[in-house]
Structures are given as structure tokens and as C-alpha cells.
Amino acid sequence: MACLLKSTISKSDCRPFWVVVLLLGISAENTQAKTVLAVPQHVSLSANYPTQQLSISWFGGKATIFEIIILRTEFNETVFYDTVSAVVNQDGGQHQWTWTSVEPLECTSLSVKICSREGNARSEWSEPQILEGRDIPSNSDAQMYPHSKVVSVGSNTTFCCIVAEGMELKKIYYGGTLMNVTRLSRRSYATTAVNQTASRPSGTNVFCLPHGRNVISGAVIFVGYPPRPRKLSCETQDLISAVCHWDEGPDTNLQGNRTTRYSINNRYCPQKSCGTPQWDGSWTLVAVNPLGQYTLTDSAELDHRVCPVEPVNLTAVVQIFNVTVDWKWKYDYSNHELVCQVELVSSNTTLRNFSGKGLHSVVLLDLHFDEEYRVKVRCGSQKHFWKWGSWSKAVTFKTKPYVPDSPDVWLWVNRDSGQIIWKPLTRWQSRGQIKGYQVTFWSPGENEPSVKFLSAGNNFLSVNLTRWASFSGDNKLNATVTVKAVGGVSRPSNVPLRLTANFQPGVRYNFSLYSCPSDFPVLMRRWIGYMQELVPSSSVNLETTQQDCDVVLTWDEIPLANRRGFLQGYNVYISNGSQLILLANLNIGTRTYTVKGLSGSTHKFTVKAYTSAGEDTGGTAAISMKECGDGLILEILASLGMVTLLLVTAAYFCYKKRGWVKKAFYPDIPEPKLPGDWSRTRGPLDLKPAPHSMVNIIEKPERDLIKDALIAIAEEEEIDAGDGIGDEPVDTDEPQSLRYYNQVVDERPIRPRFPDSSVSSSSSVDSANTDVTYTGIQTSCSSLVFPSDSQSPSEVFQPHHSLPVSSGDRGGGYQPQMHPVASASSEPLEEPQALSSGGYKPQSSWLLDSPREADEKMSPTHSLGSPTSVSSSQFLLPDGEEHKEERQASSSAAAWFTNLLTSAKP
Amino acid sequence: MAEQEEQPLTRSEAPVPGSTQTGRAVALARLLQRECSQLLQLYKERETFLLDHAPDGGRMVSLSTESEEPSAEEQVQLLHSALRQCLGLLHCLIKKEEEEWGKLEQEYETLKMHVKTRLERLLYTTRDLVGNEDGTLEVTPDHQCNEEVDGPFGLKMWTYNVLLELIHWADHAEKTLHVLHTEKGGTEEI
């Protein structure tokens, strides 16, 4: 084409024109090629059967997007159809794409077709390319795929069974499970095992059974895990090379051809441990099986990883009770600090540690005599201990016997017979087999001791003490015991045969126990005792003493010599004629006893001490009781009689002289005249003015408002209502009432009575006779002014603003001895000293004689100095709550006294 | 099971009724046949698919005889040759299984070794029965172990056939040796 174009241009005169025409022609041709995509050419298939991957390659022009369809050839079933973007090989322009099949590629033939695509344009399909399966007619045998796949636990695997030519499939089994089957072609059938569990070492069988013939085709699948080794550690035994060990970790369930292969630093390890000829310092373990690989690393210095080999050629050289154990080393540890552990086994097992550079011998001390031992040794590095090496083979040795220990010997006496007893030696004390015992009787004066031999099984010798005593006379007889054993004869153990048979009952002895085997007896214990206890030989010295109506018994201790046993206590008896009645059993520390509530004249007591043998005869004492108890009662009765007599006398005197008493203490008070309407306008004091009540208004008659509040109390009504009124509770919310008392006009100051508590409205009622006299006598604030509002009503009577008796502007009630002009001052209420003083308060503080003076001074006190006053013979009750009861009592007493006088009026 | 296996080994060495060499050979062959059957039973318990599979009857070990009616001693010689092949097959089986599976169940592995030992002992017995003055009879395995098995499943099928072959030849040995024992005047009951 290029040549043709060149010759054409050279033969023409219109070169530019033809060039343009040709270029346009070429351009038009290219445009037509773009619209018609090239069909992929040279499609080729490459199968990777183990991975079930099909690699498809083709030449597809300039297209980058292709459509691929894969069909099962026989049934023309679509397995795959999709648009793919294929990789282009830059060198040859070849496209390549890989498809992974669910079924093994051997199962049936596959057809592959490709077309190019650009936008909506698509080329024609390429010619189908076929990957032949193993079910083609030429391969008529029965088969199953995959043959022997290795998969991880939990994965899914699809198998296919190709039945033999002319056969029909009957069943497919996965292990013992009958599977569902999908037909892929005329002879090929597929089934899928899902979520597979771990298989046995010989795998899980998958097989198909055809109809008609008993020909089995099958496969084996291995389901397991990738390797997971752990705990890699490398150590040295010869101080040169390294040996690495590791734990294989969880079972992979894969064996044989599929087992895990290990390598250390790229050296294959046929065993589960692996060595390197030199100490590399760091190691990498790679574990590989068909399902994956795993890597572990370890690094260490040689000195830190020394594990000595087991000691060899162990020998034991026995001394008497020591042994020297020697051994040899396979490698040279002479410059290495070792710590070795020796296990010593006899009746028990002990471990002893020794250390030293290149240690190869140890001495075992303090072994038991005549004892068989088994010993073995292992060692480790002392400086940087890594682990113990292996135990050596054990060797056995036996220590030699030796002189036995001296036995513990003592004498057991029962009247004139006795036994020399010695404690059997233990295995360690005998230090060898015991042959027998030798008992020697000797006395210092005798030259020829008597000797007896006993065999090994004996541990006592009976003796006739009386006979030996007659032989020895006054000499002290001794017995000596020695032990004869394989290792020799023990030192003798002595026991003196002191025949002290004169123990008396009831005699107190001091006993001392000495250890006998040594030549110098050692005191081991000392105690006091009686051979036999008796009752005390004397009784207590009893004394009696009367205290009021009680009798105290006391007695002394019994002398030690007379006790004849250990006193255990005292019994106290009282004699009831011919017999003794036990009163008390006292412990030994008590020597006094009080007998209470006695009556009568004479009593006889007995106190007996007792030991384990019984009571003594007892100490007796008698006592004649004096009168007790009635004198006090008589004295009380006499006193009461005297008081009664005095009261009667006083009452009689008062009755006879009642006129004088009334005049002196309770003169009549003139009744106030009530010019206005004295009816009650406000609530709290609901009293009617008695007809004989009289109010003398001396000055300031213009105080009508105050008068309006004055309420007089009828005397008769008071009397009628007097009983029990004083006990009524105080209602402080109620308007306080003014009380008018019988007044004795004398020189004494007027004392306002606090109408608190029980004496509020009710107490005004129980006034027997109320006379109010305005005599120009002024009261001081301390006697008339009520406490301010700031004070507790419970402590001080506190008139409310609605009270008939109040100060200044407090209102509309009757206000005796008040300044006519309301000062509107609360200062009088602020007189704490007067208000807080306790006890009754005589009305002795009248300071001003006239209201004028009070006006001039303009003081609250003066304002109270009103010519209107109340004179009363009653005492002022004390302030404060602490005197509440007292006030009540005083009030009650006053009321009673008033009533008495009133009733005594002629 | 181990005790049951240990006991026959002792019996094989003990004098059998009749106390003849042929009688001991017959007992040994009978013992081999019993152990081979036990081994097959164990194998089928593991590979259960074989329960549904019947052998096709083909022989892996074949005999070639020149005479049409061989004597009892000639039959023993033929038997000896067949047993050598069986021992070769067993050696091959042990090798292949070890490569493919590693160590399998302890009971199966132990019984397999017992069968091997018993077969070797029977070979020595048959050699001694027919006389070996010239040293022509060997007791070594006679098998190349060059079979191509088709994967693990093929190995299982092949193993099954080998075990069947062992049972067949153990049974054949018992019969052959019993004939020889009878000819040599041994008692019927052994």
C-alpha cells in the first residue's frame, strides 16, 4: 500500500490534490473500522486444574472491554457471562483474563466465547474455544474430582463424579452423608460439601455409586488447619552448638504427605527439634503445610541458654554417715559455674543443692546410720539459670552402723514389785540393728554386779524390790541398761532403785523428777502430792457476827499439816435441831459467808472443809440474834404523829383566830364602782362583774377606752368555778384576763400576779373576792410591766395586745396604774432585769406618786405610775418556766387559803 | 485386643497337637489367616465405603506351575513363593501408607506389624518343610512396590485388595500345609 501510494504521487502533476484525496480515503476507511469492532482472535485457554482456574487469552484489537461467556459444552448451559476489562500484554497486545470455576475443570467440557465492546457497540462473538473435560467418550472410566484436595476447616468444596460410559449415577456420599447431586453433563454429576469439619488423618472419602454395577469411584479430601507452632526456644548443651525445641501447637489434622514441615534458619528439620552446629544467636522457625505457613523467632546469648546434659558414671563412696557422690560430664563444663541438685531418697525424699565451677562431686553429710539411700543428680547453669538438665541415672548406697544412743530408763514401782523400763530406740537412735539389752544391778559397795541379758524385742525387766532391798541393805542399789547393736554398745543408762516404800497417807510430799541416763541427773520436773489423801485432821475455827438481820460467818485456814490432802472447798451448814442443812458450797479461796434473813433468837452454824477423801468434822459456832428491823418503822410512825398533831393545832388556832388572820392577811377589798358599760366587748375574759365589785376611779376618769376593757370578776362566780380551774391548761392564744385579788391595803408594795399558765383566764375566776382600789399608788415597771414580746411566753407571763391589762397603746382593756396618755412606748417592756428575776416580787418599786410626774419624765416606768393601781396581797409568782410548777402550787395554795378565809367569813 | 494378639504369638511357638513341623505350619497359617481377617475388619471399620464394595475377584499374586499335578511338597514350594510376594505386598503397603497417611490408629498399626511378623515366620516354616539344602528358597519379600495408585482413594482401594490377597493366601497356605501334614501322617485335628 505504501509503495503504491508513492508511485502514484510521482507520476502526477497535481501532487497536492492526490495526496489530499488519498488521506481522505484512508481517514474514511479508519472511521468505518471504528464503528465495526474487531472480533477477538486467537482465543486460547489454559487450565490450572489444582486451583480450578481457567486462563483465557486473546487478541482483541484496540478494545479494552469484552464480554465473556462460558458454557458447559454438552448441555450448552451458561456457567459464566459478564463484561470484563482484560489486562493487555503490552508487548504483543494480547488480552488475558482468569476465571475460577466452582467445579473442578475436569468435570465436563467448557466452551468459551468472547466479543469486544465499546459503548453500545459490540463485535461478533469469537469462535467457541473448548476446554475438554474428563467426561469425553474417549475417557470412559469412572472418575471423581478433585482427587485429593486439602482445604481448611469450614470451607466448601464441590466434587464431581464422572460415571463410566453407559452407567447411571445412583448416589454420592461425602463420608457417610448422602449428598444432593447436580448433573453437569451426560456422565458428570456434581455435589458440594459446605462448612466442612476436620477430617481424620486418612482423610474423608467422597465416592459415588453407579446403578447396576458395584464399581466405586471416589476421592479423598483432607480438611485441616494451617500450622500454629509456639514456644520456640534454643539452648546449648555442649556450650557450642544450639538445639531448638518448639511446641507444634494445635493439631492440624494433616499427616503423611500433608504434614507440617519445619525448618530452622533454612535448615530442614526432620524431627520436632532441630540443631545448628554453631550458636547463631537468633533463629527463625518456619512451619509449612498445604494450608499455610507460620514463622517463629528466638534469640539469646549462649550463657543464658545452657542446659547441661545428664551426669554420667555416678558413684557413691560411703563414709560412716557421710557419702561422696562423683560423676562425669559428657562435655567440658570445667569453666562453667554449675548448680546441681541431688535427690536423696530413703524413707523420705530430700533435695540438696550444691554449686561450683564444673561441679562433678559433692559430699552428703548427716545421713542416717545403717540406712539405704538412692541418689541421682541434675545440674543447671548457676549464673544465668535456664533450666535443669536431665536427671542422671540413680545409684544406691548404704551407710554404716554405729554405736546406738543410750536408752531412756525409769523405774516403775508397785508395792514390793517393780519393773525397769526403757524406751525402745527408734530406727535412727539404734543406728543399726539391735542385738539385745544388758541390765546390770550394782551398788557402790558391791564388787560383783548382777547382769541380765535380754533380747532385742524386750523393753523392761521385772524385779522384786523387797528381795533386792534385803540384798543391798543400806546401800543404794542402781540398775544400768545398755543397748547392744550392730554398731556397738551404747553408753549405760542408770536408774537408782530407791525403795522408799514408807509413804504415809495424808502426808504431803515434794516429788522431783530427774533424767537418769546421764551421770549428772538433770531435774526435769518437781511437784507436790499425797500418796493418799485423807480428810483434814482439824476443823476450821468459825466465828459469827450479826450485821442487822444477817449473820456473817468467818473462819481461818486449816494449818497445812492438818489438811492431809488438797482442800477442795468448804461446806456451810445450819443446824436444824438434830440435822445439818447445807447452806452453801464454797471454793477454797472463800473464807467468809453471810447468812441473810434470819429470824429467831439462836442459830448454830457449821463449816466443814473437804478434800477428795471427804469432809472434816467441821467447826461450829452459835449466835443469839438481837432484834432487828421494827425500830425504824416505829420511828417513822412517831414522826408522822408529831407532824399531824402540829397541823391540827395550827388549824385549830387559825380557826379560832380567823378574824384576826383575815384582817391581817386578807382584808376586804372595796368593790369597784362601774359607771360605764362593763360588758365584755372582747373575747378572752368572759366574766361578769360582781354586784359588789367596786372600782374607785381616783384620777383620770377620761380614760374611757381603757375602762371599756375592764372586766370585774364576780366573787360568787369565782367561788363556784374555783374547783379545778387552776389545773386547766393555759391557752396563750386566748386574750389574757385581768385578775383582781383580795387586797390588803397596807404598806407593802403591790405585787402583780402573773396570770400565766393555769392562772390565765381561769385563775381570775377563782379569785375569791376582787377589789380594785385606785389609791394613787404607782407601780414600778418591774412589778407591773409584763415582759416584752421577745421573751418566751412560757417563761414570763406575756400579755397580748388584746389583754385588758397592758401598757400604753396596747389597747382597749382595763389598765390599772397606767399613765392616762398612751406613750406608745415599748420601753417598759424592755426591762429585762425586772422581768427575768425569779421568785416572787414584792411591789416595792412604786416610784412616782402622780401621773404628772410620770408625764414629766416621760418614761415607761412613769407611765405606769398611774393613780389607777391595783393593790393586792398576793405575791408575785416568779418568772420563767422553771418556776411554773411552783407558781401553780403557790396559786393553788393561795386559792385554798383564800377559800378557807372566805368560807370562814361570818 | 493386645492380649488377644499376644496370646497367638505364644501359641505359635508352643508345641501344637501332634508336635510335628507340619502341624505347627498349619497352625501358623491358620493364625495368619485369622489375623489378616482381623486386619481387614479394622480397615473396613475405618474406610466404611468398602462395606458397599465387593471385590472383583482378581488376583494380585499368581502362581506359575510347570506340572499339572504337583506334589504336596511342590505345592508348598509354590505356596512359599506366593507368600514371599504377599510379604512384598505387605511391605509395600506399610511403606505407602506411612508415606501417605503417617501413623494411623494404634490398633491397626499394631495388628499390621503382627501380620507381617507372622507371615515372615510362616515363610521360614515353609522353607524348612520343603528342605533347603541348596539354599534356593529365600524368605525375603518378593515385590518391587512400583504400583501406581491413583491418589489417596486409589491407595485405599489398593490396600483393600492387598488385604484381601493376604487373606486368600493365608487360607490357601492353611489348606496346602494341611494336605502336607496329612500326607506326612499328621493327625486331622490340629
pLDDT tens, residue by residue, A286-310: 999 999 999 999 999 999 999 999 9
- Tens-digit pLDDT profile for residues A529-580: 998 999 999 999 999 988 888 899 999 999 988 999 999 999 999 988 788 8
Q: Measured in whole angstroms, how far is the alpha carbon of residue A311 from the centre of its chain?
A: 53
Residues of chain A with Cβ-Cβ distance to B104 below 8 Å are 201-202
Interchain CB distance below 8 Å, B99 and A207 = no
| A257 to chain B, closest Cα gap in Å | 5
Residues of chain B with Cβ-Cβ distance to A257 below 8 Å are 99-100
Q: 3-class secondary structure for A361-423?
A: EEEECCCCCCCEEEEEEEEEECCCCCCCCCCCCCEEEECCCCCCCCCCEEEEEECCEEEEEEC
Mean pLDDT value of segment A512-527? 75
**Regarding predicted confidence, which is higher, A767 or A113?**
A113
Name the CATH topology of A140-224: Immunoglobulin-like (2.60.40)
> What architecture is domain A35-133?
Sandwich (2.60)
CATH 2.60.40.10 fits domain A542-622: yes
- Tens-digit pLDDT profile for residues A861-880: 343 433 344 444 444 444 44
| B42 to chain A, closest Cα gap in Å | 14
Q: If you write DSSP's letter for every residue of A249-277 in order, what string do you get?
A: -S--S--GGGS-EEEETTEEESSSEEEES
A209 closest CB neighbour out of B47, B52, B100: B52
pLDDT above 50 for A834: no
| B147 to chain A, closest Cα gap in Å | 18
Q: Look at residues A471, A469, A526, A523 and name the one whose alpha carbon lies nearest to residue A498.
A: A469
> What architecture is domain A409-500?
Sandwich (2.60)
Interchain CB distance below 8 Å, A216 and B152 = no
Residues of chain B with Cβ-Cβ distance to A203 below 8 Å are 152
Q: Look at residues B30, B28, B163, B46 and name the one whose alpha carbon lies nearest to residue B94.
A: B163
pLDDT above 50 for B93: yes
Residues of chain A with Cβ-Cβ distance to B52 below 8 Å are 209, 214, 216
The 3-state DSSP class for residue B131 equals: coil
pLDDT given at position A753? 42
Strand ranges inside A561-673, DSSP E: 569-576, 579-587, 592-595, 602-611, 614-615, 619-624
Q: Where residue A696 falls among pLDDT bands split at 50, 70, 90?
A: very low
Residue A209: how many other CB atoms lie within 10 Å: 21
Domain A230-304 superfamily per CATH: Immunoglobulins (2.60.40.10)
Q: In chain A, which residue's Cα lies nearest the Cα of B46?
A: A202
Q: In chain B, which residue's Cα lies nearest the Cα of A207?
A: B49
CATH class of A312-399: mainly beta
Chain B positions with Cβ closer than 8 Å to A: 46-49, 52-54, 98-104, 150-153, 156-157
Residues of chain A with Cβ-Cβ distance to B54 below 8 Å are 214
Mean pLDDT value of segment A158-176? 91
> Which grid coordinates are listed for A876?
408575785
Q: How far apart are CA B77 and CA B105, in angstroms?
A: 36
Largest interatomic CA distance in chain A? 190
Interchain CB distance below 8 Å, B101 and A205 = no
> Which grid coordinates are listed for A822?
398612751
Every domain of chain A and the residues it spans: 35-133, 140-224, 230-304, 312-399, 409-500, 542-622
Q: What's the predicted TM-score (pTM) here?
A: 0.55
Indicate the residue type of B161. N
| B70 to chain A, closest Cα gap in Å | 37
Interchain CB distance below 8 Å, A214 and B103 = no
> Which grid coordinates are listed for A576?
436444824
Interchain CB distance below 8 Å, B104 and A201 = yes
Q: Where residue A839 falls among pLDDT bands split at 50, 70, 90?
A: very low
pLDDT above 60 for A823: no
pLDDT given at position A213? 62
Best B42, B100, B103, B157 residue to mutate vs chain A (most A CBs within 10 Å): B100
A218 closest CB neighbour out of B102, B104, B153: B153
B152 closest CB neighbour out of A148, A176, A259: A148
Sole residue written with cell 407611765:
A863
A255 closest CB neighbour out of B53, B102, B153: B102
The 3-state DSSP class for residue A177 equals: strand
Burial readout A33-59 (b: 16 or more C-beta within 10 A, e: otherwise): eeeebebbeebebebeeeebebebbbb
| A56 to chain B, closest Cα gap in Å | 29
Is residue B179 within a helix (H) or strand (E), and if so which, with residue range? helix B151-183
Q: How far apart are CA A596 and CA A618, in angstroms?
A: 21
Interchain CB distance below 8 Å, A216 and B102 = no
Interchain CB distance below 8 Å, A144 and B156 = no
What contacts A441, CB < 8 A, 6 or more positions away? Answer: A449, A450, A451, A452, A463, A468, A477, A478, A479, A480, A497
* Strand A522-530 with A695-696, pairing: unpaired
CATH 1.20.1250.10 fits domain B20-50+70-183: yes
